[in-house]
Amino acid sequence: MTEPTQAFVNSGWIEVIVGSMYSGKTEELIRRLRRAQIARQRVAIFKPSIDDRFGRDQLVSHSELRIPSRAVKTAKDVLRYAHEAQVIGIDEGQFLGPDLVKVCERLARRGKRVIVAGLDQDYLGKPFEPMPQLLAIAEYITKTLAICVVCGNPANRSYRKKRRTARVVVGGADLYEARCRRCYELGRRAVAPDEPPPPGGSDEVVPVAARPRPARRRRPRRGVRKAG
Ligand SMILES: [Zn+2]
């Protein structure tokens, strides 16, 4: 006689959290992982070792939330350390390469809940592999938006402030800022409404927010006479 199988089998699934820099991706990832930990689920958390901005052994959001994590060099390393886990969190998925898609599929097939956060676009605004592929196969997708540092509109682009041509240049506020579509395309010409124009380029400056309109003179309505 064969052993009885479990009546309920968890099918596993993939959740993807994408957005620009400073959109709260890591914060949202940590929030979900914390809730799983509170429910006493076995959680394994990973991030690429290339991203050592906040140390190698924890995820840290820009809002200073922290959770211990393991640094991995490749997507396949995740498989090695995720055996026991029911919930797997992966941050900065765009740095783990195309193998990450297969790895996530395998983990989900084993009944695990896989949550991946990452940049959906690179600094040129191009889809940042393997996040687009993960978005296609995921059951749940969350897009987080930042706020444009120039004009305050919702921002989904990571604008690189210094000229570096490599696609992957890990950096923080010194190198990147969140921008809306319009301010991203204006590049260096984008100027905050209350900021002085950059030196030497005043003719090219395109103010982002509409300038306050001069107050219109009110015409007296026809047929209305001043009393007195
Ligand atoms: Zn803007």
Domains and CATH numbers, the chain: 13-144 (3.40.50.300)
3-state secondary structure at position 109:
helix
Active site includes 92? yes
Distance 205 CA to ligand 1 centre (A): 14
Percent of the chain exceeding pLDDT 70 equals 81
| Encoded tokens for 13 | 């699934």
Residue 1: is its pLDDT beyond 80? no
Residue 85 has pLDDT above 90, yes or no: yes
Mean pLDDT on 182-210: 65
pLDDT of res. 6: 47
* Residue 157 falls in which region: left (phi positive, over 0), alpha (psi -120 to 50) or beta: beta
- Going from the Cα of 208 to the center of ligand 1, the distance in angstroms, rounded, reads 7
Catalytic position from the list 15, 27, 92, 177: 92
**Distance (Å, whole) CA 97 – CA 95:** 6
99-140 confidence digits (pLDDT tens) = 999 999 999 999 999 999 999 999 999 999 999 999 999 999
Cα(54) to ligand 1 centroid in Å equals: 28
- What is the pTM (predicted TM-score) of this model? 0.79
pLDDT of residue 223: 47
Strand partners, 159: 177
> What's the 20 CA to ligand 1 centre distance in angstroms?
13
The rounded distance, in Å, linking the Cα atoms of 26 and 14 is 16
Tokens representing 14 are 């993939």
Give CA–CA dist 150/136, Å, rounded. 32
